[in-house]
Structure 1
Amino acid sequence: MIVVTNRIPVAEAYAIDFEDRFRKRVHLVDQHPGFVRNEVHRPRPMRFDRESGTWSPDTEAQGYYEVKTWWRSMDDFVAWTKSESFREAHRDRPPKEMFAGPNVLEIHEVFTSTDLELPDSGA
């Protein structure tokens, strides 16, 4: 199982527009072979005070939205990125002002999970 995470710093003034883009997406990725699921996570920058043991909003931190897709294999994900559906899903580019900096793309292999039966990868 592969998890692809796109960490995206969204300018505060564009947060609603950014979220609307995902609410109104055409779900092309959902139909691609090997696709498992998609989640979009809203940032909640928080600060922990060790002395008091309390949490409070961190108004100085730049939060990142995370767009996560789960795939059965890396080959399935790569095939999605080479597909016409991928190009169509990413055709309507948002304005550059929507972003507070560059995105970060991360790919991870799930080697253990509390809710998935995974084959032994031999690692």
Structure 2
Amino acid sequence: MFLAMNRFRIAIGHEEAFEAIWKGRDSSLAEMPGFQSFHLLRGDTNAEEGFTLFASHSVWANKDDFVAWTKSENFRAAHKNAADNKAIYLGPPKFEGFSFVEGA
């Protein structure tokens, strides 16, 4: 299995807007071969640096299935309006990919 994670630093005061973007998106992940699950997580607020941490993660059967998603028309459609809300982000998301070693 493969876990794909993006970490987002969202400007304080824009957390609800960020969540609404994700909740209202037209996702086609379930149509993709190898897709298993998706979660959006909200972390702590760092008042000193002015952001709340969020992480999205999706679980895939394998890395190849995830890479196929990133090259698909479904991926392009899901991300076509990403720049529309640029002001709520403190920098680009940070991607991290993980292969499962052990799990329950």
Q: TM-score, normalised by structure 2?
A: 0.88
> Does residue 72 in structure 1 map to residue 61 in structure 2?
yes
Partners of 2:20 and 2:31 lie apart in 1 by 21
> Does residue 42 in structure 1 map to residue 31 in structure 2?
no
Query: Which AA in structure 2 matches 1:75?
Result: D
> Does residue 89 in structure 1 map to residue 83 in structure 2?
no
Identity of paired residues, percent? 30
Query: Which AA in structure 1 matches 2:36?
Result: V
Higher helix share: 2
Q: Which runs of 5+ in 1 are unaligned?
A: 46-57, 115-123
Look at both structures and tell me which one has the larger radius of gyration over its CA atoms: 1
Partners of 2:70 and 2:54 lie apart in 1 by 20
Name the structure 2 match of 1:107. Answer: 97
The total of aligned residue pairs comes to 102
1:76 to partner: Cα distance? 0.2
Higher strand share: 2
Maintained 8 Å contact 2:11/2:52:
no
CA-based RMSD of the aligned residues comes to: 1.5
1:33 to partner: Cα distance? 0.6
SS in 2 for 1:101: coil
Q: Which runs of 5+ in 2 are unaligned?
A: none
Deviant stretches of 4+, over 2 Å: 58-63
Query: Which AA in structure 2 matches 1:83?
Result: S
Instruction: String of CA shifts for 1:30-52, please: whole Å, max 9, x gaps.
Output: 2111000000001125xxxxxxx
Name the structure 2 match of 1:9. Answer: 9
